[in-house]
Amino acid sequence: MKKDIFGLSLTELQALCANEGFPKFSAKQLCDWMYAKRVSDFDAMTNLSLKIRSRLKEFALVGRCEPVDCQTSVDGTKKYLFPVVINGVQRYVESVFIPADDRATLCVSCQVGCKMGCRFCATGQQGFHGSLSASQILNQIFSVPDSEMLSNVVFMGMGEPMDNYEAIKSTLDVLTSEWGLAWSPHRLTVSTVGITPVLRRLLDETQCHVAVSLHNAFPKERLAIMPMEKAFPIVDTITLLKRYDWRGQRRISFEYTMFKGLNDDMAHAAELVKLLKGLRCRVNLIRFHSSPGVPYKSSDERTMTTFRDYLDSHGVTCTIRASRGEDIMAACGLLAGKGNGMSDSK
């Protein structure tokens, strides 16, 4: 089986080239072709010798593939379906392109399904089928038709990034390193339910933005909808976050999906203010988007506005996130690796 070299770092490519007897500078040339020039065909890498190109074609490949399906929302949001092979089985993951006046954001997936089991999330309801490699994550970013116009990438699609940290870290390295795309880390946001030990690594090893899925400030109530609260209490996550300086360009935000009658009254707002006291952050209120088999309903607009105003008036910056792509099942919590009748495995 050929080795997929897409997603390898400069150091890893230098080791590969040394093992093959290639000149050391060949590694930098490979980075330039794969990442800066976005080339996946070894024959097109013309400053590599013919001998090197021939050898690469024998044992290596650049794991790029186009999406097999695209759905477009009435608001311009596009949902792409990518095939991935996990443990020898063909499956699918989804990525969402969100255009705006001054931004073009891509929401990417890092796993097929998810282990976290959040009761309100369509991805969590399908179970867990495997983690993506750095190559499979990067492929979503490099292979969408809108790739070169992207201003931001958010790791908020299918899966829990902190449950696939090594692949996420390799992806971030390609996007931010000089030998890769050389993006500012502030163009990238990584989400998590709050797997605290791994989150600490992300905070120490990168400068990207962080988004925490919070959804309820009362631990027992959060546990009822987010089983991982038992292993990784949100209070521990907040304690960790308060050890870091958020006064610069790096941002911390909290995702708070509004459920009618469950987490949307003033007692919940007050508890949220109490939990986040002393932490410079933003809370994004999210309308709940219904999906089959999920019993919850979204709070109404007036309730959400009142909740937002309470947080703002008590020193917590708060916004109501505009829903995008709900008509194509591309909004928050709706990704399930399906498109136009395709199931997540064949």
Query: Residues 31, 107, 118, 332: which is the catalytic one?
Result: 332
* Amino acid occupying residue 138: L
Contact indicator for 69, 340 with CB cutoff of 8 Å: yes
Tell me whether residue 110 is one of the annotated catalytic residues.
Answer: no
Query: Residues 17, 94, 160, 255: which is the catalytic one?
Result: 94
Residues 6+ apart with CB under 8 A from 224: 119
Tell me whether residue 94 is one of the annotated catalytic residues.
Answer: yes
Residue 83 has phi, psi (to 5 degrees) of -80, 140
Nearest to 264 by CA among 305, 226, 230: 305
Tokens of 285: 């209120």
Angle (CA) 102 104 106, round 5°? 155
* CB-based burial label for 26 (10 Å; 0-12, 13-18, 19+): buried
Q: What is the DSSP string of 277-288?
A: TT---EEEEEE-
Contact indicator for 276, 269 with CB cutoff of 8 Å: no
Active site residues: 94, 332
